[in-house]
Amino acid sequence: MSGEPTSQKEVFPGTKRRSMGKDKERFHRLLMSLLATIVVLSLMGASQGSEALEIDDVFKPAGTVKGKLERRRKKVERMREAAKKDWQYGGYLDVGYLPNLSSPDADEWRSKTTSFKLNSPKVNLAMGYFRKEVNPEGSRWGGEFAVQTGVDSEGLVSKTSPDTIGSADTLRHFSRANLSYLFPAGNGLKITGGLMNSYIGYSSFHSKDNVNYTRGYILDNVPYFLFGAEALYPVTDTLTIGGYVVSGFTYLTEPNEVPSFGLQTVWETTPTLTVVQNLYYGPDQRNTDLRHWRFFSDSIVEWKTDTWAVAAAYDIGTEEQAVNPENPRYMWMSGAIWASRNLPGPWWVGFRPEFYWDPDGVITGAEQLIWAVTGTIAYRIRVLSKNTLTAKLEYRFDRSTGSGGGFFTGQPLSTGIPQLTPNQQLLILGLMWAFDS
C-alpha cells in the first residue's frame, strides 16, 4: 500500500511523562483478560474435544498456489480433499486490543495499515468466504469469493492519494473474487483471473495464520491483494514458477490504465529449506513512460522443522519520480526475521525484529527509518473439529527517526499539527475465531 507525503508538517513534542501506576494497572487488566480467555478456551477444548495444532498449522508461511510458501504435497492433498467436498465455506473473526503504553491518548498507529486503531477494543477483521479448488482428478474449474469488514479493510484504502478509485470504500469489502482453471499441460498449468491474494510478501493478511498478531511494516507496505491474472506451473516437485499481469501495485488506486507484471519462483532446495524470489515491474504513476516504472524485489528464505520455523525477508524498490521536475530516483528497503518455536501442547512463541527505510517518503508518506521488535506468546485449540480459537499476547517496541519520523501521541500542538514521538510501546491482546467447512 504505497503512501504519499503528508500534506502538513508534523514535529516531535516535548517529552511527556505518565504515571507508572496507570501503566501497571493497564498491564494487569490486559494480562488477566488473557488468562481468563485461555481458561475458557481450555475448558471448551476439554469438554468438546479439542486438539493441539502442529507447527505447520501455527506457522503458515507463503506458498505456491496462493502466493504463499506451502509444500506441494499439501497442495495435492488439499485439492483431492476439495474434490470430495466440492465447494467449501468458512468465516473468520479477529478482535484486537492494542493499548499504547507510551501514548495512552493516541487512537491511531502512524505508518501502519493493519491493526492501526489503538487504546480501545476493535474488530480488526470479520470475513466470510466460499471456494472451490481446481482438481486434476475431478473438476478442473475453481474459484474463490470472500467479503470482509473491519479496521484492516479500512487500511486498504489510501486517504491521501489522488488516484484512489471512487468505489474503493466499497471494493475494500471484497478480498477474493476469481475463477481458476487447471489446464492439462505438462505437470498442470493453473490460470487464475480476478481479485486474488498477492504473491508478494511473507505471512498473511489474516493474523490467525501468522506467528505474531501484528503484521510487520514489510508486509503492510506491499500489496495484500491484486487484481489481474496469475499463471502457476510446477516445473518439478520442488520448483514452481508464477507469472502475473495485474492492474498495479495498489489495486484500489488507478493512476493509469497500463498493466504491471510480476514473476515468482519457489524452490524447495531441501525438505526443510525453501527459497522464494518475487519481482514486480510496472507503472504506478500517471506518467507511464518506461523510465518511471517501479521495480520491486521481495526475497524470502525459510527454514522449518517439526519444532522450529525461521524465515528472513529482504525487500528493495526503486522508482524515478515523474512529478518532480528533476526526476529523482527514489529507493526504499525493508527487512524482517521471523522465528517461531512450538511448545508442548497448543502453545507457541514467536519473535520478529524488523526495519523499514523510506528516506524519501514515497511509500509510508514520511521520510523515516523505522525499526521494531515484537515478541508473541500464543495459544490455539480446535473445537468441534471445524472451529479454531486462538489467543495471542504480544509486546512490541517501535522506533521511528528521520525528518518525518515519529508516532502519534494523541495530543496536538498549539498550531493544530499532530504531536509525534520517536518511540512507541504496545501491549497487545488478540482473540481470533475461524470456521472452515
pLDDT at 100: 97
Q: Is residue 178 part of a domain?
A: yes
Which CATH number is 139's domain given? 2.40.160.10
- The model carries a pTM of 0.83
- Do you know the residue count of the chain? 437
Q: Is residue 13 part of a domain?
A: no
What are the C-alpha distances in Å from 73 to residues 78, 117, 183, 255?
Answer: 9, 39, 19, 40
pLDDT at 14: 44
Judged against a pLDDT cut of 80, whether residue 81 lies above it is answered with: no
Q: How many domains are contained in the chain?
A: 1
Cell numbers 499539527 correspond to 417
Judged against a pLDDT cut of 70, whether residue 74 lies above it is answered with: no
User: How far apart, in whole angstroms, are the C-alpha atoms of residue 214 and residue 370?
Assistant: 15
Q: Is residue 271 part of a domain?
A: yes
Q: How does 358-369 read in b/e, with b if 16+ C-beta sit within 10 Å? A: bebbbbbbbbbe
Q: Is residue 108 part of a domain?
A: yes
pLDDT tens for residues 352-374? 999 999 999 999 999 999 999 99
Helix, strand, coil % (nearest 5) of the chain?
Answer: 15, 45, 40
Mean of all residue pLDDT scores within the chain: 86
pLDDT tens for residues 145-184? 999 999 999 999 998 889 999 999 999 999 999 999 999 9
User: How far apart, in whole angstroms, are the C-alpha atoms of residue 103 and residue 122?
Assistant: 18
Is the CB of residue 226 less than 8 Å from the CB of residue 210? no
Lowest mean pLDDT among 58-62, 242-246, 277-281: 58-62
Exposed/middle/buried for 260, CB within 10 Å: 0-12, 13-18, 19+? buried
Where does the pLDDT of residue 8 fall: very low under 50, low under 70, confident under 90, or very high at 90 and above? very low
Where does the pLDDT of residue 19 fall: very low under 50, low under 70, confident under 90, or very high at 90 and above? very low
Q: Is residue 410 part of a domain?
A: yes
Q: Is residue 253 part of a domain?
A: yes
> 223 is in which domain, residue-wise?
20-436
Q: To the nearest whole percent, how much of the chain has pLDDT over 90?
A: 73
Q: Mind giving me the DSSP string for 185-213?
A: STT-EEEEEEEEE-SSSSS-SSGGGSSSS
Cell numbers 478482535 correspond to 95
Q: Which of 133-137, 160-164, 419-423 shows the highest mean pLDDT? A: 419-423
